[in-house]
Structure 1
Amino acid sequence: MSIQAINVRNQFKGKVREIIRGDVVSEVDVETAWGIVTSVITTRSVDELQLKVGSDVVALVKSTEVSIAKL
């Protein structure tokens, strides 16, 4: 499968660093050149994508809102 076109502007190439599997959803940590990006996706998607530690992936980030909290 290859992606020919996508409208998501924020794309970060990286490698899967860790997968924390759950019954329904899993956390996938992706190590990029700019740091770690964590995604929560269905465990079914993890299996269908055959994700494993070390897999080459692209993290696609699309958000309509960014929240900021004062420290």
Structure 2
Amino acid sequence: MRVSARNCLSGTIKSIEVGAVNNEVVIELAPGVELTAVVTKGSTEKLGLKVGADAYALIKASNVMIGIDD
């Protein structure tokens, strides 16, 4: 797989919460480290996403905000 996104994180699908239009997919990147993505139901089906399967989280954003506590 070759993609232009610089941030490509691999992990295992921990859960898929099915919604009316979109699904919430949780990928465990490392023990206790999770990333959640919202994808369409169609994409979930087309990719064959299943709990326990390996997957990649590709992150490409023009802006990332950082905050701190006062």
TM-score of Structure 1 vs Structure 2, range by shorter chain: 0.7 to 0.9
Pair 1:30 & 2:27 matched: yes
Asked if 1:12 corresponds to 2:9, the answer is: yes
Q: Which moved more, 1:15-24 or 1:28-37?
A: 28-37
Q: Which runs of 5+ in 2 are unaligned?
A: none
Structure 2 length as normaliser, TM-score? 0.86
- Structure 1 runs (4+) deviating above 4 angstroms are none
Deviation (angstroms), 1:66: 1.2
- Taking the aligned partners of 2:30 and 2:5, their CA distance within structure 1 comes to 19
Q: RMSD in angstroms over aligned alpha carbons?
A: 1.4
Match of 2:39 in 1: 41
Query: Percentage identity across aligned positions?
Result: 37
What runs of 5+ residues in structure 1 fail to find an aligned partner?
none
Q: How far 1:68 sits from its partner (Å)?
A: 3.0
Post-superposition CA distance 1:3-40 (Å, at most 9, x none): 2x211111111000010111111110000027111111
